[in-house]
Structure 1
């Protein structure tokens, strides 16, 4: 078969057109970052669930923005623990619109997916679009960034059997509206598959990433997706998730200190939440993520005892207990260990 120059030129033209189309279809630059580069002050509201309210990523993002654009970016946390998109619809005016933001991050999928709340994917989509319409009604130039978050595991995952459908809806709506999507879920899924022990280390209560998880997983991905320079997120000392958990542990003496006994009592109660049939052990069906279950199952008998569970969670106490006193002084604790 002869190959004519005409055919060759046609192929080259097709490749050139495909290249140009690929460039045109590339994700647009993040508006608030470009505005900061241009010297404009920017107000950014992060709006969602406890993953944002007590997530260390918000403080870490603010720190990086201040390092790169001193005094130009204001990050406002308008999230609420336990909230879903129905709460978002009711609270938008007070938590978001009153700040007249230039950019709004939105994440409610993880709590819309809680089965007992009976919020369908369609309901969640309608609520999300309600938020979008009202944000644009106030400011048609406002930038909206949608986010999927981490994979809930253990009992928190059992409570959200269709979480993937809710995250996919966020992806679909971001694409339909031409919004930037921060797909944290894909990164967390990859970590869960490759290193389940590290996954639960970064997310000890099975749903809320702690300071270290934000520093090593969430913030690096966020910085990359926003087109920011790397920066030093560890300069942020905000660790609201750890503070919330440690305050919950300080139950016996309530002296702003956490003893080993108080720490272990907290995780013993957490063990009970995983133990759905209340037989004193965790079975594989009660903790469906096999990699994490195997990490807890230290003796390999396909069952997880409370003692095995506590041994895994001792990691964090020992990291925080730098002087080996057996007491964590909450007034002096350094979270960026």
Structure 2
């Protein structure tokens, strides 16, 4: 087996082992034309899937003079049962030299009805049928999903639960072990990160399944590429995935208090946080008194004598600020029956905050029957800083209880430029958003005043429950009327700063669906320049919207410091409304901007780029295909002329793939203005 896994240097002290380059790369280096089919789920076909897949192809073609044909096949939401049924048309017809298979992600979804045993049987049959067509075909098994984040854990949209994900991933590992296939694995990376630092995981894969651009280009792309080039991943788990310090009280069981400074495992600091701390009158306790049940498992500051107040000092840590990072201290705390205690938090002896039971716990009111989270950004740390907690009170029972303490290094995340959150809506009756009736207005939903017409706040239930809490674009046209224009919806944001520094881009992300006859269109423009369309008839990879929301992303070019985003609704069928569940406008790294040229031969370029209606692609091409960034084919032609008319494409970014007369493949990131 060629096992390609992330090396967990930071956590496990592993050393690197190389298994040599793949047969695919060896053939490319010998100047042989090769075809690689990527056959998988939405991780390869949707969202940022085509980005990392395209990046692998671009890099290999750049290194090996365009001898690779890379085909991104498979389908979002499908499993190995579908893969078997569609193998002939999706893979075998191309007689590939290598196939990357990725279906355990959806085999693990319980509703698919694919058991672990069936996953193995299906995968074995897939491989057997591929090798029957080409016995020399190289098999690459890919397991990128390790820690699905369900809605209760705060995953964006909430991933479909996959309780046995690790068992399904083990199928690919075992098949690779037994047969000498390449196994490319990011699941261990994501699983470890999810168990150590869930917030950090969400920056790489918002729902634990589908990679963000960061996850696609910083994790999956280099891991797949390096496995093909050298049989080795060189991407490590970020050091910040493990907190600098973390106290967990979840294992405390005893009701009686045990002083933490006493070396009485497991009720001491070494057991609770893997560190030796200095403390006095701090106790491990699982409080189960009827009036304090909510306190639960915690450390308690203070003994019964009023003078025995309690103090704690954490071991020295390197808390020096780092560019692009922040150091955060988070304390989860509550108070006992007498709300008189105060816990003063200090950094190197300097006060940085107070947890005051009488005022701070509940938004300025006294603590209730719950823990409360207190957060402090540490900006003045040194190479060996110490954090301390000093307890004080005015009544004997004024204890402070702390459930957890965590110190971590985190990315500095730029706040969104705009966020529309429909979760504030409560009414099932439609309420026009232009009416200043909180919370059913723009100010409540986004913190900004918009201008709009025929846009409604609505909470759907019953058969249309999937529409959920949303803003609805459009109202019904009066009976007998065919003039839809006065009844279509439109909305315009206030002025926003949509400029992007070098290396960044501005993205408009819209989660939307449609009711009725799937006929409506929502056009998005910035300062009158269209950046994209959401078409109900093409919402699901070229198919009409189904009973779910779909996410659309549009890149903004040439934004100003005072740009406005406009959403304009059109339709030709009554009742064909567009429903928008959320809108985000944010800046992110423009990682793929450097991928436009995949060949050292600049004569291979396409131009103009950006374009308006036509693109020059060069002479004597066998074929040209254009894909949107969701992996959908939007244009294709055999034996194209040197200049193609693509005026029908919506504004936005695309990947153009062309095959020249000698069979060489090149890919180019292009943009329609």
- Fold conserved between structures, TM > 0.5: yes
Q: Which moved more, 1:210-219 or 1:82-91?
A: 210-219
- In 1, are the aligned partners of 2:28 and 2:64 still within 8 Å (CA)? yes
Select which of 54, 67, 74 maps to 2:62: 67
Aligned equivalent of 1:5: none
Counting matched residue pairs gives 242
- Cα distance, 1:197 vs structure 2: 2.5
Which sections of structure 1, spanning at least 5 residues, go unmatched?
Answer: 1-24, 231-241, 260-271, 274-309, 323-329
Cα deviation digits, residues 33-72 of structure 1 (max 9, x gap): 1111111111000001111112122111111112211211
Partner of 1:254: 522
Q: Is the 8 Å Cα contact of residues 148 and 183 (structure 1) preserved in structure 2?
A: yes
Matched residue, 1:318: 586
Give yes or no for the alignment of 1:170 onto 2:438.
no
Q: What TM-score, normalized by structure 1, do the two folds share? A: 0.63
Question: How far apart in 2 are the matches of 1:141 and 1:321?
Answer: 40
Matches within 5 A, 1:3-18: none
Shift of 1:152: 1.7
The Cα shift of 1:246 comes to 4.1
For residues 115 and 121 of structure 1, the distance between their equivalents in structure 2, rounded to whole angstroms, comes to 10
Q: Report deviation, 1:108.
A: 0.4
TM, length-normalised to structure 2: 0.33
Task: State how far apart, in whole Å, the 2-side matches of 1:222 and 1:331 are.
Answer: 31
Is residue 82 of structure 1 aligned with residue 87 of structure 2? no
Q: Against the structure 1 CA distance between its residues 334 and 32, is the aligned structure 2 distance closer, same or farther, given a 3 Å change threshold?
A: closer
In structure 2, do the counterparts of structure 1 residues 317 and 76 end up closer, same or farther at CA, with 3 Å as the change threshold?
same
SS at match of 1:43: strand
* CA-to-aligned-CA distance 1:130-179 (integer Å, 9 cap, x gap): 10110010010000100111232124556211111000111011111110
Distance in 1 (alpha carbons) for counterparts of 2:19 and 2:106: 28
1:122 Cα deviation after fit: 0.5
After TM superposition, give the deviation of residue 202 of structure 1 in Å.
Answer: 2.6
Is the contact between residue 320 and residue 334 of structure 1 (CA under 8 Å) also seen in structure 2?
A: no
Runs of 4+ in 1 over 6 A off after TM superposition: 250-253, 333-336
User: What residue number does 1:146 align with?
Assistant: 141
DSSP-derived class of the 1:145 partner: strand
Q: Is the 8 A contact 2:78 2:106 kept in 1?
A: yes
Native 8 Å contact 2:84 2:122 kept in 1:
yes
Q: Please give the alpha-carbon distance, in whole angstroms, between the structure 1 residues aligned to 2:62 and 2:525.
A: 33
CA distance, structure 1, for counterparts of residue 654 and residue 103 of structure 2 = 30
1:249-298 residue CA offsets vs partner (Å, 9 max, x unmatched): 48797103599xxxxxxxxxxxx99xxxxxxxxxxxxxxxxxxxxxxxxx
2:19 matched residue in structure 1: 27
Give 2:40's match in structure 1, choosing from 27, 48, 51: 48
Give the CA deviation at 1:195.
4.2
| Equivalent in 202, 205, 229 of residue 203 of structure 1 | 205
Q: Which has the higher helix share?
A: 1
* Offset, 1:180: 0.5
User: Partner of 1:331 in structure 2?
Assistant: 651
Structure with bigger strand share is: 2
CA gap of 1:80–1:143, structure 2 versus 1, over 3 A, is same
1:104 to 95, 99, 105: 99
1:128 shift after superposition: 0.3
List gaps (5 residues or longer) in structure 2: 1-16, 152-157, 234-505, 515-519, 528-547, 550-580, 591-649, 656-668
What CA distance in whole angstroms lies between the structure 2 residues aligned with 1:71 and 1:321? 27
1:132 equivalent to 2:127? Answer yes
Measured against aligned partners, the alpha-carbon deviations of 1:209-237 in whole angstroms (never above 9, x if no partner) come to 1322211111111222222699xxxxxxx
Q: CA deviation at 1:32?
A: 0.2
Map 1:166-315 to 2 at 5 A.
Answer: 166-227=168-229, 246=509, 248-249=511-512, 254-257=522-525
The farther-off stretch of 158-167 and 185-194 is: 185-194
Mapped partners of 1:320, 1:180: distance in 2: 33
TM-aligned CA deviation for residue 191 of structure 1: 3.3
1:160 aligns with 2:162: yes
Distance 1:117 1:222 in 2: 27
Closer/same/farther in 2, CA of residues 174 and 254 from structure 1, 3 Å limit:
same
- SS of corresponding position for 1:147: strand
